[in-house]
Structure 1
């Protein structure tokens, strides 16, 4: 029997008892105990590579924002970038190891408490990652459409971040009650599943669809509306410029401050990476919820590949941030030089000199302090 892709509220290898659509009992003679197949081995290997890269890169972003040149970012941008990196780290250190270990062991050995806790943490990490992107999109929307309100941006962003983390916690909390460890009848097989938590199949489908909406549809709609309005506003200002009408400028040639436009481009690319990486995974999940027999119609490696592709998003965010942030690249260069050449205190002081007169060259293409405050 083919193995299942981990859909939203379930994680791990396939068996009818850990499928989110298997609330009704299944006879032991109707299925075979799943094994660690070649496709699953590829999934574990690929996830391990993504785990190592995502862990190092996102930790580097956190260090840069907290202790490095990332502190030069505008005060209201630092919590956003830091929260995104923390959400990605949760995906890295919770979702990826859980998926790898569960695929290797096939069945569940960690007990009922860990079953509930880890399934809760997985959904919490996925919600927080999506909601942080919503907050970033709302911040860019307000910065472009209401540039004069930038002085209140720091307090507004902190409130939105608190709401995002709180909603993630609330929406993931049902996992603590619907997941449990169950032993299959007639065979030596134990699994962490939602089996028996729903009286009817449609109730579980509604639960899954609700999380599909909160994890993907709602964030996508909000982010799309924000960036469509931003593009409409930019287009309107372009036409004003052509018609010779007056409008707010940073300089004689800039319609929108360079730093703000650069940050806008970065957030658009980050949102696009989220959409590209996770859309195939969620679409396959919808197909599965309404037609569980689709598992027999699609090759096993397709399920594993789409899950790995979704996790790629966790690696994309720090790369995109680095491409658009010279200060982060400078921090990486300093760390690389320290490890490559000399780890003596004198050399470290020399390499840390960009905080002084050497910083002008390293940050020549970075926005000025005034520009950063305007973002």
Structure 2
């Protein structure tokens, strides 16, 4: 998968001949992309770090033990996207060409794909956990061990899938121009080889996670509908959600919205990528700002996860409010007590979900 996700021709494996090629510049569209990405970086860094601190040290520790590693892993994956993908994208658009040398070219291209892959796979693990919680509630005793194994597998698979980046990316200097770029030039003998490689990562980054998550939540909705139908047949005056613990339903709604935000944010960008892989001439018919806009919109997903979690988790909102009060009163850095001294009504409304 091409690492410079702006989809410029200068960063693909087949560069045009030097006589027809002019070095790209830091255009207004690229400047707008840098400004937007910088704002997303600041918000994503603060919100995801706050989420990680809340779950590990604050009131968020009241979350069920098998759910904490999932939320912490999701926050860590978002932080990898924040501190690797976004700064790399900003710096690369500002400098236009590559100044980091061959070793850094390979390493950062690997870390970028690794971060994106991990983020997608952790959403799959969360979906599988919700599937087990709703359809097999009696297996909740094994949930912690099962989730730990799935998370380990997600991180290992992400590293393996991203490892080819260490071999196919290299620095190439343009002929007759003082211009160096980090590209896959010379790594693929045929155009279709590169297309197949990109399609493989499209399948692992988007298609497979989307299919697994869709299957999980479809089965969950079918089960909820079945329980609701059985309730109506037995003439019991209770809703389908009463058949499932409220805390579990609350967590289910939160994870569904998190998955939907992933789909909404990244689908346009991946569709643009498919169009480019099969019809490279599309660069001549689509405005440059479209490529920049869709990538920035995809990065918005990193900011959505902590916001969605905060909307469904009073403990996280309480930690943020307490942090703001402490900083306004003393001007000191964030310092959360391991657990709150008093359990008010707000915290009783945020029970651990099995």
Calculate the TM-score normalised by the size of structure 2: 0.95
Residue 173 of structure 1: aligned partner = 163
CA drift of 1:148 comes to: 0.5
1:252–1:114: structure 2 CA closer, same or farther, 3 Å change rule? closer
1:356 is aligned to 2:348: no
Any conservation in 1 of the 2:224–2:240 contact (CA below 8 Å)?
no
8 A contact 1:12–1:103 mirrored in 2: no
* Aligned counterpart, 2:101: 111
5 Å-filtered alignment, 1:46-195, equals: 46-195=36-185
Q: Deviations over 1:135-174 (max 9, x none)?
A: 0000000000000100000000000000000000000000
Of residues 2, 7, 15 in structure 2, which corresponds to 1:9? Answer: 2
CA distance in 1, matches of 2:339, 2:209: 39
Give the structure 2 partner of residue 308 of structure 1. 296
2:317 is the counterpart of 1:365: no
> 1:283-362 maps to which residues of 2 (within 5 A)?
283-342=271-330, 355-357=340-342, 359-362=343-346
Shift in Å, 1:29: 1.2
Structure 1 pair 19/178, CA: closer, same or farther in 2 (3 Å)?
same
Taking the aligned partners of 2:7 and 2:123, their CA distance within structure 1 comes to: 31
CA RMSD across the alignment = 2.1
Per-residue CA deviation, residues 232-283 of structure 1 (Å, 9 max, x unaligned), is: 000000011111189xx9x998210000000000000000000000000000
Alpha-carbon distance in structure 2 between the residues aligned to 1:361 and 1:239 = 34
Q: 18, 24, 28: which is aligned to 1:28? A: 18
1:26: how far off?
2.9
Residue 188 (structure 2) pairs with residue 198 (structure 1): yes
- Equivalent residues of 2:10, 2:24 under 8 A apart: no
Checking the alignment, whether the CA contact within 8 Å between 1:65 and 1:82 is kept in structure 2 is yes
What secondary structure does 1:182 align onto? strand
User: How far is 1:362 from its partner?
Assistant: 3.5
Asked if 1:213 is matched to 2:203, the reply is yes
Q: Is the 8 A contact 2:58 2:339 kept in 1?
A: no
**Whole-angstrom distance in 2 between the partners of 1:15 and 1:334:** 46
Cα distance in 2, alignment partners of residues 45 and 143 from structure 1? 42
Please say if residues 128 and 164 of structure 1, whose CA atoms lie closer than 8 Å, have aligned partners that are also in contact. Answer: yes
The reply to whether residue 275 of structure 1 matches residue 275 of structure 2 is: no
Tell me how far apart the structure 2 counterparts of residues 343 and 77 of structure 1 sit (CA, whole Å): 33
* CA displacement at 1:35 relative to structure 2: 0.2
Question: Unmatched 5+ residue regions in structure 2?
Answer: none
Helix, strand or coil for the counterpart of 2:294?
A: helix
**Structure 1, gaps ≥5 residues long:** 1-7
Give, in angstroms, the shift of residue 14 of structure 1: 5.8
Q: 2: distance between equivalents of 1:253 and 1:156? A: 26
Describe the shift of the 1:252–1:304 C-alpha distance in structure 2 as closer, same or farther (beyond 3 A): closer
Give 1:363 shift: 1.0
Q: Under a length normalisation based on structure 1, what TM-score does the superposition of the two structures give?
A: 0.90
Q: Alpha-carbon deviations, 1:296-320, whole Å to 9, x = none? A: 1011111100000000000000000
Aligned residues: 352
